[in-house]
Chains A and B, each alone.
Chain A
Amino acid sequence: MLKAVILIGGPQKGTRFRPLSFEVPKPLFPVAGVPMLQHHIEACSKLPNMKEILLIGFYQPNEEINRFLSCAQQDFKISIRYLQEYAALGTGGGIYHFRDQILSGSPEAFFVMNADVCSEFPLPEMLDFQKEHGDAYSFVILGTTANRKQSLNYGCIVENEQTDEVLHYVEKPSTFVSDIINCGIYLFTPEIFQHIGTVFQKNQQDMLLEEQSNGWHRAEVIRLEQDIFTALAGQGKLYVYKTDRFWSQIKSAGSAIYASRLYLNQYHTTHPERLATNREGGPKTRVGTVDVLGPNVSIGTGVTIGAGVRVRESIILHGATLQDHSCVLNSIVGWGSTIGKWARVEGTPSDPNPNDPYAKIDSETLFRDGKLTPSITILGCNVNIPSEVIILNSIVLPHKDLNRSFKNQIIL
């Protein structure tokens, strides 16, 4: 019997996803037309022995999460529960805190995944791989190849090429260690909790020796990457399953568009009904005549699109209105926003280099050399863009009425 745990974080995490995360918890943000988490849940529910999916995070229970949970349970016919951490306990601390819940029913193994990754989820392959490597209690990390420079932004894995054992693990090194990176998707057996428990004891002892200075540095905060994998590497317990299927982090709003594209490409085989001649349209979307949408466009429900509208490489969220002749490129248009006639809303894509098969999307800093880095244009919810203006490489916070053009600015 199998279980899956999805780490969904909390409001203090995922701040690079603002202003979109003001309206909706980041794990519920729609990517390729469905909430980010739904892609994980769908992949998990396909496994025949999957008994339960547990979401662990520190969001307060709210309407959106509850609604999502009940819909997902109905759609996928599987038990899905949200376990709220009392504080941010880290990627290891959360699962350790809820180990009894995870282990109830005695699963042989369980997946742990970060919510903010976009992946093809080769879960059956990871299960097969685990049976063939190490002993019955070994753990598997999903890895993929990055280019040398970008690997420094991820957890780096040095493997034994014959046995696929993880020999060495470093999280975000400052010098090159390996081009195999951690995808944030793991397969554990119950034995993992012994190892986390050891680290927990050690932390407690260290706490006693130190003063209680910072509130957030508690013994229960355990990070899988730095605290567990680094220690387990080279002990014959940790293995890496390498995949070359699509994978990306979703850290910034701009990477949501890139992730959408990856999933939309997958829809040709998995969900062709979600695609409609180049676009992904929901029900109750009104589309005028002579408009051109796509490639890589996701349109939410209740969106009104006027005549002669051009949308490309963008996400249009529910209830938005795009008036006649407007043009939306490389942007995310927030819920209920309006774009006036002939207006142009344009961003700059931060896509990975298409000539490099291992290039990953950059999570760039917001500013560089004192200037706003050109990136995807984001309109928060209920933003009104008047007719005939241009909004270029800008971020507009929710409920704002603009009255002129803006370029390369954050508009509060």
Chain B
Amino acid sequence: MKALILVGGYGTRLRPLTLTVPKPLVEFCNKPILLHQVEALVKAGVRHVILAVSYMSELLEREMRAQEQRLGIKISLSHEKEPLGTAGPLALARELLTDNEEPFFVLNSDVICDFPFDDMLRFHQQQGREGTIVVTKVEEPSKYGVVVYEGDTGRIHRFVEKPQVFVSNKINAGMYIFSPAMLRRIQLRPTSIEKEIFPVMAEEGHLYAMELQGFWMDIGQPKDFLTGMCMYLQSVRQQAPERLRSGPGFLGNVLVDPTAVIGENCTIGPNVTIGAGVVLEDGVRVKRCTVLKGAHIRSHSWLESCIVGWSSSVGQWVRMENVTVLGEDVIVNDELYINGANVLPHKSIADSVPEPRIIM
């Protein structure tokens, strides 16, 4: 089976992290975002993954070669030279997707959840139609595209983009499974799948909704990245609690890479991810944070709701909070207060940032 992952372009919403590393390779809970999806696809029987990219990255190419070897599958890159919208990339990959009659998966690369690929395949084959969309229930549907469908059959009636009044609380979760026949609907030009393709398919009775169970998050921006991290760690607690770290000084769900070093009298958690080679000195308190590879947090500092970029260094007695994001190799001097700062790579911070702002 095949899958197409819509990776897209520069990942600007996840800057400053994506200034150093292409978004699919940013580690989410100690594993590149893309790998969460690819490994789940492989488990469901996918042997060929196509990455639809609009920005070609050598780093991504090299990493994908390595994963091909490791997972024993084929990974192709489909590079759109001009913007093709959300449907166009499918047309671009038409040859790769239609070499047999099997249905193929399409995923939005920012989505994290308990991937239901087996259920999707079964549901899709049962319906025998051209397309199945996974939907998920959210608290604030008007931020997204809402799906209106028949509860018992799953047959989709219509879509409403960012509705002003309450229409439904089920939104498009960014995961689809299609039969190859649907590709005849898409031409190789900039096309919106939500606005141009889906409405027609729905009208013809060829589009069905499958409701997702469990957590879901679009982790394309830092605030949601951290929220998604909390959800994912909770899911790990339920399914594989041995992966989490516990004991004195650890509260709630904490994921620690075995090569990380944690000092004395630290209190870590709840909801913390510590990457490879990270050093936490004595007396550090970290809550609801992702600390990426090689970062160094010096003693007595206090961090809440932050993303600390690769190889960054946070000084002693620093207080960082409110979705502060440090890019790669950022240095924060001792005793500063950093509130909601978005700090670009290789920057040194010598003054407190008491109100949220971007530091270039």
Asked if A pairs with B, the answer is yes
B354 touches A388 (CB 8 A): no
Question: Which of A290, A310, A325 neighbours the largest number of chain B CB atoms within 10 Å of its CB?
Answer: A325
Min Cβ gap B170→A in Å is: 36
B300 within 8 A of A: yes
- Do A390 and B299 contact each other (CB < 8 Å), given the known contacts A310-B316, A324-B283? no
Is A346 in the interface zone, CB < 8 Å from B? yes
Per the bound structure, the CA–CA distance linking A310 and B317 in Å amounts to: 7
Is B300's CB under 8 angstroms from A325's CB?
Answer: yes
A310–B285 CB distance below 8 A: no
- Please tell me if the beta carbons of A307 and B265 are within 8 angstroms of each other in the complex: yes
B302 touches A310 (CB 8 A): no
**A312 part of interface (Cβ distance < 8 Å):** yes
A308 with B319: in contact, given A342-B285, A388-B302 (CB under 8 Å)?
Answer: no
Within 8 Å of chain A (Cβ to Cβ): is B282? yes
With most chain A CB atoms within 10 A of its CB, the pick from B265, B283, B300 is B300
Considering the chains assembled together, what is the distance between the CA atoms of A390 and B353 in angstroms?
Answer: 13
Q: Are B319 and A390 in contact (CB under 8 A)?
A: yes
In the complex, which residues of chain A have a beta carbon less than 8 angstroms from the beta carbon of B300?
A: 308, 310, 325, 327, 342
Contact A310 B354, beta carbon cutoff 8 Å: no
Q: How many pairs of A and B residues are in contact by the CB < 8 Å rule?
A: 43
Q: Mark A257-282, 1 if CB is under 8 A from B, else 0.
A: 00000000000000000000000000
B337: Cβ under 8 A from any A Cβ: yes
Mark interface residues in B288-308 (1 if CB within 8 Å of A CB, else 0).
000000000001101010000
Asked if B335 and A327 sit within 8 Å, CB to CB, the answer is yes
Chain A 121-178 residues near chain B, CB threshold 8 A: none
Cα–Cα, bound, A392→B337 (Å): 10
Within B288-341, which residues are at the interface with A (CB < 8 Å)?
A: 299-300, 302, 304, 316-317, 319, 321, 335, 337
**B316 in contact with A342 (CB, 8 Å):** no
In the complex, A344 has a CB within 8 A of chain B = yes
Distance A112 CA – B194 CA, assembled complex (angstroms): 85
Closest-CB distance, B177 to chain A (whole angstroms):
46
Q: Which residues of B contact A341 (CB under 8 A)?
A: 285
- Assembly CA distance A364 to B319 (angstroms): 28
Task: Identify the B interface with A (CB < 8 A).
Answer: 265, 282-283, 285, 299-300, 302, 304, 316-317, 319, 321, 335, 337, 354
Could you list some 18 contacts between A and B, CB below 8 A? A310-B335, A324-B283, A325-B265, A325-B283, A327-B319, A341-B285, A342-B285, A342-B300, A342-B302, A344-B302, A344-B319, A346-B337, A388-B285, A388-B304, A390-B337, A392-B337, A392-B354, A407-B354
